[in-house]
Structure 1
């Protein structure tokens, strides 16, 4: 792995997992020492992170980690509903039913993966990631898939911020199972509606748990 890729991956993970909080100044010298690489790879990594919207130039302060406001979250979910609703409908029309039937069955058993232990939750999030990947593959639209992948970077930060509890995760698992079931049935309208319902409930949860600025 190139030094700039290593720096990018580490910084990106630290931002997404809130180890680097919004407003944190990412000085090249400090980060190069922390990551064990020279300043040039760090500079390249920060440029990539800025392109993703995870960092931004802040005048004389240099590069800082971007914040996520309630307004940002509303805008993300507006876009998410448009992109993911369409993707679910396309997946229902174009996807392999057996793939989504298996995901539906796995998501119905997802409660076994949800507990207060982080490792268990990571298994659940990985299962949801499999559903996302299956939809991306099924839609056969690289532009739409890329747009959703770019948005998901920020949604992971929002999810960490919301501190999902077990009841919400259990409800979300049922909602994801319904999406997979509709896609497996080839019902585009139902797949889009199930996605819209899931996003509405997710947004309500996030806004209820997001600290006011």
Structure 2
């Protein structure tokens, strides 16, 4: 892995996981020393973070971790609805039903087991559903847009904290999406996705607060 890629991946993960908070200054000397790279690849990594919208350039401060506000969340979900609802509709027309029938069963099981120890496994399962829908849609432009969007959504998800009751409901919503795709019903798949996104946004806006668990 190139030094600039190493620095980019490390900084992006730290931002998404809230180890680097909004407003944190990404000083070149400090970050290059921390990550064990020289300043040239570090600058390349910072430029990529700015292009991703995870950092902004401020006069006199350099690169700074970008803010997350309710307005940003609304904007992200406007784009998410446009991409994910249509993706579900397309996937229902093109997907292999058995793949999504299996995912439905696994989400139903996940909905019964959402303790702290299974939280990350649940997020991996949700990511698997995303990947299967992406593969069924088979549109590189949509996939690229979603890949960028999902980085920001992961950051927002952690802002809202992890609520076991919400995760259980979300698992059932994902199961409904997978079931509709397996049944090759585009409009039901789109409606199930729309409902899931509505509940997700309402939860985030209700529960988002300062991150007290990170230094």
Same fold (TM over 0.5): yes
Contact 1:113 1:124 in 2 (8 A): no
Change (3 A) 1:15 1:55: same
CA drift of 1:116 comes to 2.5
Report the counterpart of residue 185 of structure 2 in structure 1.
Answer: 187
Poorly superposed stretches of 4+, deviation over 3 Å: none
CA distance in structure 2 between the aligned counterparts of 1:100 and 1:211, rounded to whole angstroms = 35
Structure-1 separation of matches of 2:2 and 2:124:
26
In the TM superposition, 1:57-136 aligns within 5 A as: 57-117=57-117, 120-136=118-134
Contact 1:87 1:135 in 2 (8 A): yes
Using the alignment, how far apart are the partners of 1:2 and 1:113 within structure 2? Answer: 40
Deviation at 1:187, TM superposition (A): 0.3
Q: Which of 192, 200, 203 pairs up with 2:201? A: 203
TM-score (norm 1): 0.96
CA distance in 2: counterparts of 1:149 and 1:97, whole angstroms: 24
CA contact (8 A) 2:111 2:172 kept: no
> Unpaired runs of 5+ in structure 1?
none
Q: How many residues align?
A: 210
| Alignment gaps of 5+ in structure 2 | 211-215
TM-score by length of 2: 0.95
Aligned to 1:149: 147
RMSD: 1.1
